[in-house]
Homo-oligomer: A and B are copies of this chain.
Amino acid sequence: MCDACIMRTVAAKLGRRGVLAAVAAAAAAPAMAQPVRTAGISRVVDLTHALSPSFPTFGGSPAIEMEQVNVLAKDGYNMHRLSYVEHVGTHFDAPLHFSAGGAPVDAIPVAQLVCPLVVLDVRAKAAAEPDYQVTPEDIAAHEASHGRIPQGACLALNAGWDAHVGTPRFRNADAGGKLRFPGFRPDVAPLLLGRGAAGVAVDTLSLDHGSSPDFAFHVAWLGAGKWGLECAANLGQLPATGATIVAGAPKIAGGTGGPGRAIALA
């Protein structure tokens, strides 16, 4: 927006509000309208679903309890008390979740939460086989087309599963209660460790596929000191490479992970 346009916009807004002090301060400021600092960002994509009691969970319990403890009309402000177990909604896994002595979520270095984002599209395979496990060969094929996964990256698995979040297909429980959704095959973990990746993301309820008997990918990946993001949204809006994820893990002292805010800058 040009300087003059900004001045007109500001003048219009101030005029509508009629706040003389603000107008005086605005007049005193030099006409050095700065461009919005975008750091090369042209698009912001929210990778986070809204968390409500009905959000699907691995175990099937309500995801969160909310109780309004302050009400505007009586107290002058609104406020709730929240209660939940850490691994609900669009949430992070810290190393401590699956390893004795692993880093809690507050100890993940913040620089490891801002990562080149590589998005692996396995929608077709996931549609054909809900319990699909992504293989080292899938990674190799992606790299052949899009280049090597860079040091410090987050590899995100786009199984198209966020489209199912409001339906039983998201948990996809079979008659015996076993869940069926895609995840990483455990031998992808050493490959990504070799690449120096910092994190992984899935749009399903677990880094391991739904009917995993042993959570072997969790054990290998988190056990190596890396982080994970589960129930990511909107991965389909991103390019295969070139975006950046700002992985807003909650900074709870001693936590094993938890709901946070994951945002992609493209």
Q: Are A116 and B261 in contact (CB under 8 A)?
A: no
A236 to chain B, nearest CB (A): 16
Tell me how many chains of this kind the complex includes: 2
**A48: Cβ under 8 A from any B Cβ:** yes
Interface on chain A toward B: helix, strand, loop, or mixed SS? Answer: mixed
Q: Are B190 and A76 in contact (CB under 8 A)?
A: no
Stretch at the interface among A25-33, A122-130, A157-165: A25-33
A196 to chain B, nearest CB (A): 7
**A228: Cβ under 8 A from any B Cβ:** no
Q: Are B90 and A17 in contact (CB under 8 A)?
A: no
Q: Are A194 and B51 in contact (CB under 8 A)?
A: no
CB neighbors of B among A84-138 (8 A)? 84-87, 89-90, 96-100, 106, 110-111, 113-114, 116-117, 136-137
**A173: Cβ under 8 A from any B Cβ:** no
Q: Mark A249-263, 1 if CB is under 8 A from B, else 0.
A: 111111110111101
Considering only CB atoms, which chain B residue lies closest to A26 in the complex?
Answer: B194
Cβ of A40: which chain B residues have Cβ within 8 Å of it? 39-40
Instruction: Identify A261's interface contact among B29, B84, B261, CB under 8 A.
Output: B261
Other than A25-B140, A45-B110, give 7 A-B pairs with Cβ distance below 8 A. Answer: A6-B196, A22-B191, A26-B195, A28-B144, A30-B147, A32-B143, A250-B250
